[in-house]
Amino acid sequence: MRAGRTASRAAALLAVGCALLAMPAAAQEKTLNIVDYGGAFEAAADKAWFKPFAASQGVKIATEQYDGGVAKLRAMVEARNTTWDLIDLETNDAITGCDEGLLQKLDPALLGDRSDFIKGAILPCAVSSMIWSTVFAYDTNKMQTRPTTIADFFDTQKFPGKRGLRKSPKVSLEWALMADGVPAGEVYKVLATDDGIKRALNKLSTIKDQIVWWEAGSQPPQLLADGAVAMTMAYNGRIYDAQKKENKPFAIVWDGQVYDYEWWGIPTGAKDKELAENFIKYASTKDNIWKLSNFIAYASPRKSSVEMMNKAVLPDMPTAPDNFKNALQIDAEFWADKYDSINSRFMTWLGR
Amino acid sequence: MPQAGRDAYRAARRSEAMRSLAFALPLLVFLVAVFLYPIGALLVRSIQSDDVAAAFPRVSAGLAGWSGAALPPPPVFEALAADMAAAQQNGTLVSAARRLNNYEPGFRSLILKTARRLPDPAAGPVEQAFLDIDRHWGETETWRFIQRASARVTPDYLLAAVDLRAGPHGLAELPPDQRIYQAAFARTFLISGSVTLICLLLGYPVAYLLATLPPRQSNRLMIFVIVPFWTSLLVRTTAWYVLLQPNGVVNALLAQAGLTTAPLALMFNRTGVLVGMTHVLLPFMILANYAVMRGISPTYQRAAVSLGAHPAVAFLRVYVPQTLPGIGTGTFLVFVLAIGYYITPALLGGGGDEMISQLIAFQMDRQLNWGLAGALSVYLVLLTLAVYFVFNHFVGVDRLRLG
């Protein structure tokens, strides 16, 4: 008796379950599986692109988070079971993924007028979604004179106080050279030589005893807030967040900013390549690409966006004409080749 | 005892032993599966070099008998073109390129660039195509690196981990401005040694106090040793991060007391590392000494004093020698734990305080150079074993106890 009742209840449950599972299938709703870094970027992209795209196409968007790197993607592609349709990539992964055949070649026709994109914003397998930047920031309440150039970061006479830098040769060495008078366009040419590395390290040596080294992107706003440093290297989005959400009196110096692109790419074997292409097309159009800037201080890689953007947020963007005067794009190929050998010298220098 | 009885006794003993083994079996399997095997696999990686051999099988074979005097013959160029095309298809090209980049910065982009630009290998002679793409293909050194990297067993990682490399004339040290690892091992030993000494100086009196007080008071005081011991390492390190900041509690107190005018630099330097690590490791020193001291009868010291020794002399010549096993155990535990430290120096240290574990982690997850990470681990394991044998020789592992 009792067993019979359990069985019939289970059968009823099963029926309800099947009905529930069958419903979305019946509606024939497609799902675009996007994998990204999560956090503030995903929240902003959701409002700017994911939700409107899903509504306009009648599809669903499912997001998943990862920490970068192509290891997991490679495993999926090798197992011939790619569950992602679209990936948010950093530059080195966009290049590596393409070289390893883990990303599909992108049809340039999707992007419309390619001359509207900033130089370097289109790769064979990826198109840039936004631009973020490494800048230096200070606390306006604590600095009597305002620093304005990258050389000021290295001038502890005129601007006394500790300096926060990421414990990595990346960007630190570029800055040292720029502060030493190397024009942005020649930084990597100089850095490729032995003397160039020596020159950069010598420049860094002039402030070495004042440097506080950080490792995670969340540290620099904290170091500034604690007064542990007078100026610090930081990612512009983090400083923007501290300015707007926590009302910190921080200011960004854009001179010498080192910017990089963030990318969209379609993995090899994606289940719904067409939908992913549609999304890239949608999110990259002149009319939509700038909308991310409504929600986060990351800039659009299209030139026309400057006119479309909300004028109030323009001064916070890495690509605003005033901010972009002396800007350097990080050279991912250079660092992929030279990181190990330069890092050895950097570490030896650190330990001296 | 008659023979039959003795056999029965042995059989009983054997089945007893088997039963205990059966109880221990899950733990043994667990240890082998999650501890010994992964460690072994990582250590094996320090001499393993499959990347290039797997990606470029034809070239590896073609270069096997090559003398290195002149450029390899055209078939080797053709083999490389075919291998590159295949490696690009099956996704092994980048790992091979990364492996070669360990020898010579720039090798990675040379390989990738060449693979991108090479014409179809069926189209005709490829030698000239290689030379047109990059002049490095016309240098014997480039091919010597490929030949060297094709060997499936390599000493290169073990050499690199002590700042050596194999040059054309035998082993050569890296230029002084590129040597990191020798200095990092020395630094790791210096920091661990300093922490051990500070722990001993601070912990010995505390252990003595705990061992000589009446049990009620001693138990109460013991809470102050045990509670930090139970607290997570990360929590304690972060707590020091808060305390030692320029505007932190310690600096605020010093400034209010009028002792300092500007904040002292207490963290992001060696001071921070020593303070943090000493605090985390101190309970081991105290407990090891306490365990030994509790068993020492006070009557020996009293006898020495009653025979005319000054109390200080009695303490140094009668009491301290009896506590040597405790000192040895505490020193050993603290030192061995300290040489593997990672989080505390990363959070509280500055530029020149990198310990070897930080460098291993960096090679593992940032540079994906598992061979070098494995080689560094090999040396770390060997050094730890050496410390263990010194301890075993002078103190004896059987005396290892914590209360």
Can you give the pLDDT at residue A3?
46
Same-fold call for A10-131+261-316 versus A132-260+325-351:
yes
* Residue in A closest to B100 by C-alpha: A337
Phi, psi of A139 (to 5 degrees): -95, 115
Band (A24; pLDDT cuts 50, 70, 90): very low
Backbone angles phi, psi at B343, to 5 degrees: -70, -45
Chain B interface mutation, best of A98, A347, A349, A352, highest count of B Cβ atoms under 10 Å: A347
Could you report the predicted ipTM of this complex, rounded to two decimals? 0.72
What number of other Cβ atoms are within 10 A of residue A31's Cβ?
A: 15
For the segment A62-89, what is each residue's pLDDT rounded down to a tens digit?
Answer: 999 887 777 778 778 878 899 999 999 9
Same domain, B277 and B393: yes
The residue in chain B having the minimum alpha-carbon distance to the alpha carbon of residue A197 is: B177
Mean local confidence (pLDDT), B259-277: 89
> For residue A256, is it left (φ>0), alpha (ψ between -120 and 50) or beta?
left
Q: Are residues B240 and B303 in the same domain?
A: yes
- Which CATH code for domain A10-131+261-316? 3.40.190.10
Rounded to whole angstroms, how far apart are CA atoms A215 and A117?
Answer: 32
**Is residue A209 less than 8 Å (CB to CB) from chain B?**
no
Average pLDDT, chain B: 88
Q: Is residue B67 part of a domain?
A: yes
Domain ranges of chain A: 10-131+261-316, 132-260+325-351
Cβ contacts of B351 on chain A, cutoff 8 Å: 167, 208, 211, 213, 350-351
Q: Is residue B207 part of a domain?
A: yes
* CA–CA–CA angle A142, A147, A152 (5° rounding): 120
Same structural domain for residues B83 and B187?
Answer: no
Task: Write out pLDDT tens, residues A290-321.
Answer: 999 888 889 899 988 888 888 888 888 998 88
Q: Which residues contact A48 (CB under 8 A, 6 or more apart)?
A: A288, A291, A292, A294, A295
**Residue B176 is assigned to a structural domain of this protein:** no
**Pairing status of strand A328-329 against strand A250-265:** parallel
pTM for this entry? 0.77
Residue tagged 């290049």 (tokens)? A95
Is residue B323 domain-shared with residue B338, that is, in the same domain? Answer: yes
How far away is chain B from the Cα of A5, in angstroms, using its nearest Cα? 41
Domain ranges, residue B96: 51-152
Cβ within 8 Å, pair B105-A344: no
| In a shared domain, residues B304 and B188 | yes
Domain of B217, CATH number, reads 1.10.3720.10
Position A169 confidence tier, pLDDT thresholds 50, 70, 90: very high
Has residue A22 got a pLDDT over 50? no
pLDDT, averaged across chain A: 87
Instruction: Give the chain A residue whose CA is nearest to the CA of B107.
Output: A337
Residue pLDDT, tens place only, B199-227: 999 999 999 999 999 989 999 999 999 99
pLDDT score of B123: 67
Shared-domain flag, residues B112 and B19: no
Per-residue confidence (pLDDT) for residue B278, from 0 to 100: 95
φ, ψ of residue A257 to 5 degrees: the values are -60, 145
B148 vs B70: CA distance, rounded Å: 16
Helix, strand or coil, per DSSP, at residue A174: helix
Residues 278-337 of A with CB under 8 A from B: 333, 336-337
> Is there a single domain that holds both residue B234 and residue B116?
no
Q: Are both B274 and B372 inside the same structural domain?
A: yes
| Beta carbons within 8 Å of B87's beta carbon, 6+ residues apart | B55, B56, B93, B96, B115
B331-375 pLDDT per residue, tens: 999 999 999 998 899 888 887 888 999 999 888 766 778 889 999
B293 and B384 co-located in one domain: yes
Report the pLDDT value the prediction gives residue A205, as an integer from 0 to 100: 95
Query: Is residue B368 one of the residues assigned to a domain?
Result: yes
Indicate the residue among B152, B170, B204 that finishes a domain: B152
Question: What is the total count of domains within chain B?
Answer: 3
B101, B246, B351: residue with CB nearest A226: B246
Write out chain A residues lying below 8 Å of B112, CB-based: 99
Residue B158 is assigned to a structural domain of this protein: no
Q: Which CATH number fits domain A132-260+325-351: 3.40.718.10, 3.40.190.10, 3.40.50.720, 3.30.930.10?
A: 3.40.190.10
A137 contacts A251 by C-beta, under 8 angstroms: yes
Residues B380, B282 within the same domain: yes
The answer to whether A202 faces chain B, any CB pair under 8 Å, is no
Q: Residue B391's pLDDT is what?
A: 87
Same domain, B269 and B316: yes
Residues B198 and B331 in one domain: yes
The answer to whether position B129 is within a domain reads yes
pLDDT average, residue stretch A140-150: 90
Give pLDDT, residue A2.
Answer: 45
Contact A62, A50 (CB under 8 A): no
